[in-house]
Amino acid sequence: MPIRLGAVSYLNTRPLVYGLDGQPDRFSLRFDVPARCAELLHADDVDLGLIPSIEYPGHGYHIVPGVSIASDGPVASVAIFSKLPTEEIRSIAVDASSRTSVALLRVLSSKWFGIEPRLVSMPPDLPAMIDVCDAALVIGDNALFTEVDALGVQKVDLGEEWIGMTGLPFVYAFWAGRPRVCGPRDVAALNEACRKGSAATLAIGREAFPDDPGKAVRADRYLRENVKYALGEREIAGLQRFYRLAAEVGVLPEDEAPQFYGQG
């Protein structure tokens, strides 16, 4: 039976799944929002999920080594849009479709911004969000393509803020599943898909926005410059730092060390 993959339906996912739909004997693929990918994995409705990193602890999962969705500087697609200077923010509307971004916001608010904002869950409609709150957390394509000048707000890139605080990359998501569902050849196939996809960002951008050349070019640049797909020593160190800080601020009950397929 093919391995059931649950992937995120965002632009930044596409290099990770590049060509996997052409391997039906090895993989079957479905797309959902990040939180739903985690729910499907928790319910055993998929074998491997491209899950938000905050969803990993406490489930006994293993991680596919080598590949992730990360940033090592500005990420462009995870940000708060604010009407006020960061230190004056008292309320933030949050797009709750990715728990990792909300957790990152809570860590940065406590450890870096020095604020304790009230978080209000809302649909990802930026004008409506900033009408209700001082700022809004927006992720994905909505954050990437928002024109801040037209709305009169400032964009605070959370990937940039994280590296400013820690000096380490931030890992947003990775492939994870129960032990033994993924063998060495499957790991190799997922890494090869990522390698090919990372070399095909221009084609991916054009496919995502066939009627908007400007967005296609912006997508290509975003996939090449902002998103990083490695999961090496620095990324793992950043992930471990995130889990430790998330436990300190009460987002996680406790810190957890990541475990990988092929270990032990």
Distance CA 5, CA 177 (A): 10
Distance CA 76, CA 60 (A): 31
pLDDT given at position 141:
83
pLDDT given at position 187:
97
Phi, psi of 192 (to 5 degrees): -70, -40
Domain architecture of the chain: domains with CATH: 3-70+169-210+228-248 (3.40.190.10), 78-166 (3.40.190.10)
Distance CA 117, CA 107 (A): 12
For the cut 60, the answer to whether the pLDDT of residue 102 exceeds it is: yes
Residue 177's Cβ-side half-sphere holds a number of Cα atoms within 13 Å equal to 23
- Which pLDDT band holds residue 264 (cuts at 50, 70, 90)? low
- Which pLDDT band holds residue 73 (cuts at 50, 70, 90)? very high
For the cut 90, the answer to whether the pLDDT of residue 97 exceeds it is: no
- Which pLDDT band holds residue 140 (cuts at 50, 70, 90)? confident
Span 86-98, average pLDDT? 90
% pLDDT > 90, the chain: 85
Distance CA 16, CA 185 (A): 16
Element (H, E) at 104: helix 99-108
Span 248-261, average pLDDT? 94
For the cut 80, the answer to whether the pLDDT of residue 29 exceeds it is: yes
pTM for the whole structure: 0.94
Pick the range with the lowest mean pLDDT from 3-7, 35-39, 82-86: 35-39
